[in-house]
Structure 1
Amino acid sequence: MKKLTLIALLAFFGTANAQTETATTFPTAKGNWIIGGSTNLGFNSNKVTQKSGDYSVDGQKTTTFNVTPTVGYFVIDNLAVGLNLGYEVQKQDASYDFNQTAKVTNTVFSVIPSVTYFIEADSKAFPYISAGAGYAAIKTKVASTETQNDNFFVWGGKAGLAYFITPSIAIDLGLNYQQLSTKYEDTFSTTENKIIFKTLGASIGFNFVL
């Protein structure tokens, strides 16, 4: 009888230990950290809109290059709270002062707190959605002479798929939307002036779970 009781206890604790290990190694389990980085796939479409009161001028759409390191912590299973750091370079022909066209290069640095929810699946593929809002600093160069710096409010979202090739490494494919906007003063006008950057595109990267 004692032997049977001992075997049963060992079986119970062995099962409990296995379940604990499974929960710990589950990629999107509470307490895990997720660190990643992604870049666009060359399909980003960028649109610049300059507004003055009811008057609006759209710049040309163009492709952009960006790199986005991310870090997040799973506060509960499948829900991570984190921070996205962005670096982006945009080059385009755009209207300037409403009556001129010039080569414009924008270099964007952004810091965006975000929330990401992973949809638990039986396979290695985890669909997810993410949203965030934060701050961006843009350095603008018009032609080769004039340079200015602006601060922007930025918000955006992402939907994608994380495919875990191991319990701790995933390939990340996503579709992104991001909008930056700022108001500025014009000494020759009393109307509200605003510049809006809109970016829609696809990205690829890797995620590492710790």
Structure 2
Amino acid sequence: MKTSITLLLILFTSIISGQDDKEQFSIEKGTWSIEADFSINSRNNDFFNPTFSSDSKFFNFSVSPKIGYAISKNLILGLGLGYGYSKSEDENENQQILRTTTSTSNSFGISPFVKKFFPISEKVAFHLQGETRFAFGKNTFENSDNSERESRNESFFVGIRPGINLSLTKNILLQANFGSFGYNYISGEVDDIQSQETNSLSFNLGSSSFIFGMIILL
């Protein structure tokens, strides 16, 4: 959290102060970009006392390729596709009775975006990315009693993501997105019977929201 706030302060300070154009990071008008964002998260929680124990495991993976075009200097308009996979396993033992629950999720999305770069130096720039994302997915739940349930969901997001870029070569950039601010809408159905809807306005700058990627300029 402190790291993210520090990066944002550097961003706005740099925008205000400005630098010599000859020393600034630059993506010229007419440049094509190919991006790939990647995120992976894994955790394991254990709990034990004489009468109860639990073991919880979670794994999440997502990838999002994008293509963009610089409509003016340091301003890219583009379109992205996304895929996400997650799996959680929970084991609870209470008075020698073991219960297990497994959940698996697959999701697909599409996201048009516009990205503005703010040069810090010749090789470093911050960016703000405005995007709209629509996604849909399927979740499967299995219990130790062999019962199975299935849910489907759709989500819509519109908002802004900040990030930082490092130029490795003239045509290759490393990128890190940290956090988001925007509006989320989620709707879902369980076994085509139960349904729910959620609306939220969120501001997230936690370290768990870091997404790393690479940009190739053509």
Corresponding position of 1:201: 209
Aligned residues of 1:27 and 1:167 also touching (Cα < 8 A): no
Q: Which has the higher contact order (CA 8 A, sep 6+)?
A: 1
Give aligned-pair identity as a percent. 22
Aligned residues of 1:31 and 1:76 also touching (Cα < 8 A): yes
Computing the radius of gyration from Cα coordinates, the structure with the larger value is 1
- Report the residue type matching 1:181 in the other structure: Y
Q: Counterparts in 2 of 1:179-190, with a 5 A limit? A: 181-183=185-187
Deviations 1:85-139 (A, max 9, x none): 1111123479xxxxxx943222111101111110023320111111211311111
TM-score (norm 1): 0.63
What runs of 5+ residues in structure 1 fail to find an aligned partner?
1-22, 45-59, 95-100
What runs of 5+ residues in structure 2 fail to find an aligned partner?
1-21, 44-55, 91-99
Q: Counterparts in 2 of 1:36-51, with a 5 A limit? A: 36-40=35-39, 42=41
SS at match of 1:83: strand
- Matches of 1:188 and 1:127 in 2, distance apart? 46
Aligned residues of 2:40 and 2:60 also touching (Cα < 8 A): no
Aligned residues of 2:36 and 2:215 also touching (Cα < 8 A): yes
Distance 1:41 1:174, change over 3 A: farther
Deviates more, 1:173-182 or 1:110-119: 173-182
SS at match of 1:42: strand
- Matches of 1:88 and 1:196 in 2, distance apart? 21
Distance 1:85 1:156, change over 3 A: farther
Aligned residues of 1:36 and 1:71 also touching (Cα < 8 A): yes
Alignment length (residue pairs): 163
Corresponding position of 1:172: 175
- Matches of 1:115 and 1:126 in 2, distance apart? 16
- Matches of 2:120 and 2:178 in 1, distance apart? 20
Q: Within the alignment, does 1:68 sit opposite 2:52 as a pair?
A: no
- The one of 164, 174, 190 equivalent to 1:161 is 164
TM-superposed CA distance for 1:27, in Å, is 4.7
- Matches of 2:117 and 2:62 in 1, distance apart? 24
TM-superposed CA distance for 1:188, in Å, is 8.6
TM-score (norm 2): 0.61
Corresponding position of 1:9: none
**RMSD across aligned positions (CA):** 3.7
Relative to total residues, which structure has the larger strand share, 1 or 2?
2
Aligned residues of 2:42 and 2:58 also touching (Cα < 8 A): no
Aligned residues of 1:41 and 1:204 also touching (Cα < 8 A): no
Corresponding position of 1:133: 132
- Matches of 2:103 and 2:139 in 1, distance apart? 7
TM-superposed CA distance for 1:170, in Å, is 0.8
Q: Which runs of 4+ in 1 moved over 4 A?
A: 60-63, 184-189, 195-200
Corresponding position of 1:56: none
